Each structure stands twice: as C-alpha cells, then as structure tokens.
Amino acid sequence: MIDSAMVKSNDGIEKIKESLVKRNHATDMLKEIQSLNEKRSQLIQSSETLSSMRNKISKEIGTIVQNDPAKAEVLKSEVREIGEKLSVEKEELTKVEESYRDILLYLPNILDDDVPIGSNENDNIVVRMEGDIPQYSFSVKPHFEIAENLGLIDFSRGVKLSGSRFYIYNDIISRLERALIDFMLKSHRAQGYSEKSVPFLVSDQAMEGTGQLPKFSEDFYRLEKDNLNLIPTGEVPLTNMFGDEIFAESDLPLYVTAATPCFRKEAGSAGKDTRGLVRVHQFQKVELVKFVLPQNSSAELATLIDHAEVILKKLGLTYRILLLCSGDTGFSSAKTYDIEVWMPGLDRWLEISSCSNFRDFQARRAGIRYKDHKSGKNTLVHTLNGSGVAAGRLIAALLEYYQQSDGTINWNEIETRIGTSVQ
C-alpha cells in the first residue's frame, strides 16, 4: 500500500499520477482523492475553530461562574453544542480516513524510476541471455506430446476429476517433481534461506497483505463458508506469517523459502496454452521471500535473481532475464525481472520465474516493521519475492530439452543433474 501521506499532498498525488500513467492505468480515482483532501482540510479547519471556541468559552465560564451563574449555564449549553458538533465532525473525519484506505488498497505500487515505459510484454527489455538455443538433429516435440506418447502424464483423467487444465502425474513424473523440489530447496538452503512448511489456506487479511485483495478477488479460489482462500502462490503465507510483527534490525535480512501447491483460476486466459503444463489451475512451486532493510532492497533484488537462475544453470537450460516495462509490472511490485526459459518443443520463451521488489508496499499493508537502532523508531521493512521455480514448467522444460530421437527421454542426464534417481 502506498503511504497515506502521499495522497494528502499535491507533490504526492503528482508522483502517484505519474506512476499510474506509466502503468497505463486510469487516473480517475485521483479526483476522488482530491475531493477527500478538500473535505479533510475543511473538517480539520472547522474542528480547530470549534475547539478554539470551546476553549475560549470554557475559560469564560471559569471567570463568571461565581458572579453570573445564569450566564455561565448558557455558556455551558454552548460548550455542549460545540462538543456535539466536534463529535459529528470527528466521525466524518474518521470516514474520510477510511475512504482514503479503501482507495489506497486499489492503488498499485509506485514504480521505480528506472522501470522502462511500455504498454505490455512486447516492451519488456532483455537484460541478458544465458546459454545457446539448443539444436537437434530431429524434429522436436512439445512436452505434452512427449508426456502423452510415453504415458508420463494423464491429462484426460485429470480433466475427468476436476475439469480443464488439471492433470495427473504418473510414476516417474511424480518422483521427478518430488526430486526437483528437494533439489531446489537444498540449493536455496545453501543460499541462506530458512525452509518453512506453511498453510495452503489463508485469511482475507493475508491476501490483502500481499496485494491479492481486494483488487484481484476473481483470480483465486475462495472457500466462502470458511472465509479462507487457497493460496495462489507461496508468497502469501511466507510474507504474512510476519504480519504485525517487529523485527530487531539485527534479524535482517531474513530469507525464507517453501514448496507449496498454487491454485489459480487463470481468469481471462481462455484459449491460451490450453494444452500441457504451461497454464494450469494447480501446480507446485518453490517460493523465495526476503525481508530486508530499505537501503539494501535494490541489491537484494539482484541476488534474488541469482538465487533463482542457479537452478536453471544446474539443469542445463537456456534462459534469459527481462526487465519488465511499466505496463507489464505487477500491481504490488515497484520493479520486476522475469526469467524465461527457451522451450525447444514449443519453439518460444516461457516465463519460469518472476523476481520482484515490493519496497514497503506489502509491509505497510501487512504491518511488518523493524526497530531502527539509530532512530529507535519502528520502520517498515522492504519485501521481495521470487519463484525458485515453478515445478510444472520446469518439468515441461526438462522433457523438451532431454527428449531423444526415438521419442524417449534421457533420464540419466536429468538424474545426473539433480543428483538423484527417478527411474
């Protein structure tokens, strides 16, 4: 959430407007903010005038109460009337502050100055590429054809159980997924992350803390009767587990990781990537979350990317890193880098990780702070998160990379890279 002080100053509103325009967002809500600012100023000014009048009359009562009790009673009545007006104005001011918060919950984060201006994913900037586009002496197949031909994944029975975009992993893929998750978690523990096992159902407050609510309520699955939500990403429980807590400065930076299922409606994506493991409603993912001092968050974003891409290097996958443009940067993020892996069977790049710096946006919503040792004040931390990475898309990539001319998979190469047997 944006600092409420920003919406109460002209300079702050201009900065918000500039960021909204960069994001290609409508700026209509700024008119409502300006209207609230005017009402707030009027209420504050009126309340100060009434308070001054009440104080002045109260002093006058003190000087005449002995000599002119009748007039003192009249003045006491005036003080009561002023008190009632002040009470009404206090309630109105509270409503104004609540309206501010309602608007703030729908305002996206302020973009970093160096985020490039653009409309959509076509305007993202390729920062660098690692590896060469793999070449094959035979016609390569997409992962879903390989999986169906070899009986590795049962898409039809997944649909029978739960509808479109669900699947069932058969023997070796089930073992591969577990092995990959363990492989990733071991790597991240070596990088300083503390592994957590977190709930997959979270409260509305948790969803609000990381920015899923209220704006994106249609994008995830909700259990209305229980007022709980299936997590769309492990970022939600990992971040909000420290909600309304105050770290000691010496506790930071704190790195946490978890492997969780993720549940997404994928609303608005009808007809896109309907086959295979690219866009599904349930998948496993290893998540990386950082809690850091504000002055270090830019540097921490760079190392977060390093931590995610290590996995792809170890698995021999070709990938590239993109800096997202303003129109493609997520609601809660101030700056995001995507990591895309080259998919030889699909013949295109595919996002496999996204690493973002939220600065104090999530921390303000969730109430996550630290005690600054110099000022002694409780200060908002900066949060970052990255996929470390999505297991389903990683499996898809491995099937496409290590397919052989006879239609089989080079399991020995995969096992060598992850350091365990899956056959």
Give the pLDDT confidence of 304-348 residue by residue, as tens digits: 999 999 999 999 999 999 999 999 999 999 999 999 999 999 999
In the numeric block, which tokens belong to residue 259? 């492997």
56 shares a domain with 143: no
Cis check: omega of the bond before 389, within 30 degrees of 0: yes
pLDDT mean across residues, the chain: 96
254 shares a domain with 212: yes
Going by the DSSP 8-state scheme, the letter that residue 172 receives in this structure is H
- Asked if residues 146 and 409 have their Cβ atoms less than 8 Å apart, the reply is yes
pLDDT band at 65 (very low <50, low <70, confident <90, very high): confident
The whole-angstrom separation of Cα 15 and Cα 37 is: 16
Letter string b/e over residues 161-200, b meaning 16 or more CB atoms within 10 A of that residue's CB: eeeebebbbeeebeebbbbbbebbbebbeebebeebebee
- What is the DSSP annotation of 93-108? HHHHHHHHHHHHTTSP
Residue 115 lies in a domain: no
383 shares a domain with 237: yes
pLDDT of amino acid 274: 74
317 shares a domain with 196: yes
Q: Among residues 405, 413, 412, which one has the least CA distance to residue 138? A: 405
pLDDT at residue 408 greater than cutoff 70? yes
CA-CA-CA-CA torsion for 381, 382, 388, 391, nearest 10 degrees? 80
Rounded to the nearest 5 percent, the helix, strand and coil shares of the chain are: 45, 20, 35
144 shares a domain with 86: no
Q: Among residues 289, 285, 308, which one has the least CA distance to residue 297? A: 289
The whole-angstrom separation of Cα 40 and Cα 96 is: 7
pLDDT of amino acid 272: 63
pLDDT at residue 268 greater than cutoff 90? no
158 shares a domain with 57: no
pLDDT at residue 270 greater than cutoff 70? no
Final residue of a structural domain among 69, 104, 139 = 104
pLDDT of amino acid 368: 98
Residue 110 lies in a domain: no
Q: Any idea what the CATH number is for the domain that residue 9 is in? A: 1.10.287
Residue 370 lies in a domain: yes
184 shares a domain with 87: no
pLDDT of amino acid 161: 98
Least confident of 128-142, 228-242, 269-283, 397-411: 269-283
Residue 156 lies in a domain: yes
Q: Among residues 360, 200, 206, 386, which one has the least CA distance to residue 289? A: 386
User: For 154-172, how does the pLDDT look when each residue is reduced to its tens digit (9 = 90+)?
Assistant: 999 999 999 999 999 999 9
Neighbouring C-alpha atoms within 13 Å toward the C-beta of 317: 32
Least confident of 120-129, 179-188, 272-281, 286-295: 272-281
pLDDT of amino acid 271: 56
Q: Any idea what the CATH number is for the domain that residue 216 is in? A: 3.30.930.10
Tell me the percentage of the chain whose pLDDT exceeds 90: 96
Tokens 């898309």, located at residue? 393
167 shares a domain with 51: no
Torsion sign across C-alpha atoms 302, 306, 309, 313: positive
Residue 423 lies in a domain: no
Final residue of a structural domain among 72, 104, 136 = 104
Residue 113 lies in a domain: no
Going by the DSSP 8-state scheme, the letter that residue 403 receives in this structure is B
Q: Among residues 293, 269, 290, 289, which one has the least CA distance to residue 281? A: 269
In the numeric block, which tokens belong to residue 256? 């946490």
153 shares a domain with 198: yes
pLDDT at residue 269 greater than cutoff 90? no
Letter string b/e over residues 202-222, b meaning 16 or more CB atoms within 10 A of that residue's CB: bbeebbbbbbbbeebeeebeb
Q: With 0-12 CB in 10 A as exposed, 13-18 as middle and 19+ as buried, what is 128?
A: exposed
pLDDT at residue 68 greater than cutoff 80? yes
pLDDT of amino acid 266: 77
Residues spanned by the domain of 239: 121-418
User: For 193-225, how does the pLDDT look when each residue is reduced to its tens digit (9 = 90+)?
Assistant: 999 999 999 999 999 999 999 999 999 999 999
pLDDT of amino acid 66: 84
pLDDT of amino acid 267: 57
Total of domains in the chain = 2
Final residue of a structural domain among 104, 136, 157 = 104
Q: With 0-12 CB in 10 A as exposed, 13-18 as middle and 19+ as buried, what is 422?
A: middle
Residue 21 lies in a domain: yes
127 shares a domain with 94: no
CA-CA-CA-CA torsion for 90, 368, 196, 172, nearest 10 degrees? 80
User: For 238-264, how does the pLDDT look when each residue is reduced to its tens digit (9 = 90+)?
Assistant: 999 999 999 999 999 999 999 999 999
In the numeric block, which tokens belong to residue 133? 């586009």
319 shares a domain with 252: yes
281 shares a domain with 206: yes
Residue 397 lies in a domain: yes
User: For 344-370, how does the pLDDT look when each residue is reduced to its tens digit (9 = 90+)?
Assistant: 999 999 999 999 999 999 999 999 999
Q: Which residues pair with 230 in a beta bridge?
A: 201
Going by the DSSP 8-state scheme, the letter that residue 409 receives in this structure is B
